[in-house]
């Protein structure tokens, strides 16, 4: 795969280098150094701290090398000196997985129609709709989640409708609320990449399909879907990976029961004051993120689709 990349990149690179008015690569040095200090170093420190012990007093760490933070993921030391297998954190990791997976599936199901629908509108409507879908992407997640909380609260409008129908309604502070929050927040992350693929889709291909006698769902499944696959793969990556590390939704909607990885991490730097454990969970989260990025890369390399992750 690398070899292919090298071959296809070289002529473009040659041209880029020929363009007059280009500046020295040294210009990028301040940015690179700044990012090393503010991004690479903190990640490195997280890694180092995950192998240290908790401080005796207050917050922070003690420079004693140990694997106890990682052991803490699975084992609980009881007060009477015995140890027991601890399923709490395994459950949290599993929950994060399941919530993210459900979020990914639901956003995909919702995004396919809207992405296709936007792609088939007239140009002016299309620009407007793309802007409408992009806007929430940039708006404060905090405020969006707060609004959703009001909306799905037992006393909110959705609850009101259920009450009037004489139905039981209680969603807020349950895992369901967390997942609804994740779906709500990450929807644009799925719609936009699929739309980007759908917009490039040549509808005369679909017309050729109809002309050759295919029905609409067949055309969708056999012609449209394969063409927008790169967008779908990008969307899955852009929803699943950040959902795995999300914090606000389970905090504000799930009732702060610390049922996702990020909430447990936050606790270690708040009330629990166990920095090494928090760092170990962070390392785990980084590991999972890198793993999924690699999986997505693998899939896109194998299918030959151009998938953009950033």
Partner 1 sequence: MTTATTKRRRLVNLRNFPTFTATSWAVLIFLYLPLVYVIGYSFNSGRMVMIWEGFSLHWYTVAIQDINIQRALTNSLKIAVVATTLSTVLAVLASLGLVRMARNGKRIAWALIGIPLIIPEIVLAIGTLAFFMAVKIPLGIFGLILAHTAFCIPFALLPIRARLSQLDAAPFEAAYDLGANDREILRRITLPLLSPAIVSGALLAFAISIDDFITSFFIAGPGATTLPVYIFGMIRSNVTPEVNAISTLLLLFSGIVLISSYVLNRVRR
Partner 2 sequence: MTSSYLAISNIKKSFNTPEGGTVHALDDVTLDIQSGEFFVMLGPSGCGKTTLLRSIAGLEYPDSGVITLDGQRIDDIPAYNRPVNTVFQSYALFPHMTVAQNIAFGLEMEKLDKAEITSRVGLALEQVKLAGYEKRKSSQLSGGQAQRVALARALAKKPKVLLLDEPLSALDLKLRRGMQIELKRLQQETGITFVFVTHDQEEAMSMGDRIAVFNSGKVVQLDTPREIYRRPVNSFVADFIGETNLLDGVAGTDGITLPGGGMLLRSQVAEDCAIPDSGAITVAIRPEDFEITDTHGAITGTVRDSIFTGDTVRIHVTVTPEVEVAVSLPSYGARIPDRGEKVSLSPSGNSARTVAS
Please state, in angstroms and rounded to a whole number, the distance separating the CA atoms of residues 103 and 101.
5
Closest approach of Cβ 302 to partner 2, in Å?
23
Structure tokens at 65: 């090398």
Q: Are strands 61-62 and 53-54 parallel, antiparallel or unpaired?
A: antiparallel
Pair 229, 196: CB distance under 8 Å = no
Please state, in angstroms and rounded to a whole number, the distance separating the CA atoms of residues 109 and 104.
9
Contacts of 229 (CB under 8 A, 6+ apart): 197, 303, 305
Span of 13-21, 86-94, 218-226, 228-236 interacting with partner 2 by CB under 8 A = 13-21
Residue 190 contact among partner 1, partner 2, none, beta carbon within 5 to 8 Å by kind: none
Output 3 or 131, the one with its CB closest to partner 2. Answer: 3
Output 90 or 309, the one with its CB closest to partner 1. Answer: 309
Nearest to 117 by CA among 271, 13, 224, 39: 224
Closest approach of Cβ 16 to partner 2, in Å?
14
Pair 224, 206: CB distance under 8 Å = yes
Span of 2-10, 28-36, 58-66, 202-210 interacting with partner 2 by CB under 8 A = 2-10
Q: Per CB under 8 A, does 8 bind partner 2?
A: yes
Q: Per CB under 8 A, does 24 bind partner 2?
A: no
What mask of x and - would describe binding to partner 2 in positions 71 to 110, judged by CB under 8 A? ----------------------------------------
Output 15 or 82, the one with its CB closest to partner 2. Answer: 15
Residue 293 contact among partner 1, partner 2, none, beta carbon within 5 to 8 Å by kind: partner 1
At 83, is the secondary structure helix, strand, or coil?
Answer: strand
Which residue carries 């708040």 as its tokens? Answer: 270
* Alpha-carbon dihedral sign for residues 249, 250, 256, 260: negative
Pick one of 1, 3, 7, 167: the residue that binds partner 2 (CB under 8 A).
7
Q: Per CB under 8 A, does 3 bind partner 2?
A: no
Residue 271 contact among partner 2, partner 1, none, beta carbon within 5 to 8 Å by kind: none
DSSP bridge pairs for 54: 61
DSSP bridge pairs for 61: 54
Output 149 or 257, the one with its CB closest to partner 1. Answer: 149
Contacts of 129 (CB under 8 A, 6+ apart): 118, 121
Q: How many residues lie near partner 2 (CB under 8 A)?
A: 7
Closest approach of Cβ 78 to partner 1, in Å?
28
Q: Per CB under 8 A, does 23 bind partner 2?
A: no
Question: What is the binding site for partner 2 (CB under 8 A)?
Answer: 7-8, 10-11, 14, 18, 20
């Amino acid at each position: 795969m690398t070899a292919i990349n090298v071959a296809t990149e070289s002529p473009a690179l040659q041209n880029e280098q020929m363009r007059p008015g280009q500046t020295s690569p040294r210009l990028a040095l301040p940015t690179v150094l700044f990012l090393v200090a503010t991004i690479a170093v903190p990640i490195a420190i997280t890694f180092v701290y995950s192998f240290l012990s908790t401080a005796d007093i207050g917050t922070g760490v003690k420079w004693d090398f140990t694997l106890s933070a990682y052991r803490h993921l699975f084992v609980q030391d009881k007060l009477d000196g015995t140890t027991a297998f601890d399923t709490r954190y395994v459950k949290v990791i599993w929950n994060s997985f399941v919530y993210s997976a459900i979020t990914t599936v639901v956003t995909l199901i919702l995004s396919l129609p809207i992405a296709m629908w936007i792609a088939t509108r007239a140009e002016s409507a299309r620009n407007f709709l793309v802007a409408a879908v992009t806007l929430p992407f940039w708006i404060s997640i905090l405020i969006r989640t707060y609004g959703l909380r009001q909306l799905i609260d037992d006393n909110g409008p959705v609850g009101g409708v259920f009450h009037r129908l004489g139905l039981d309604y209680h969603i807020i502070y349950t895992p369901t609320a967390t997942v609804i929050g994740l779906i709500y927040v990450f929807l644009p992350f799925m719609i936009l990449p699929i739309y980007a693929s759908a917009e490039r889709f040549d509808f005369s291909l679909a017309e050729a399909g109809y002309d050759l006698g295919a029905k609409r769902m067949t055309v969708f499944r056999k012609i449209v879907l394969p063409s927008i696959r790169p967008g779908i793969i990008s969307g899955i990556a852009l929803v699943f990976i950040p959902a795995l590390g999300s914090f606000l939704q389970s905090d504000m909607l799930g009732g702060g029961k610390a049922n996702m990885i990020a909430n447990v991490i936050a606790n270690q730097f708040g009330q629990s004051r166990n920095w090494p454990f928090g760092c170990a969970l962070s390392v785990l989260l980084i590991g999972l993120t890198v793993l999924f990025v690699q999986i997505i890369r693998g899939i896109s390399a194998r299918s030959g689709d151009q998938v953009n992750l950033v």
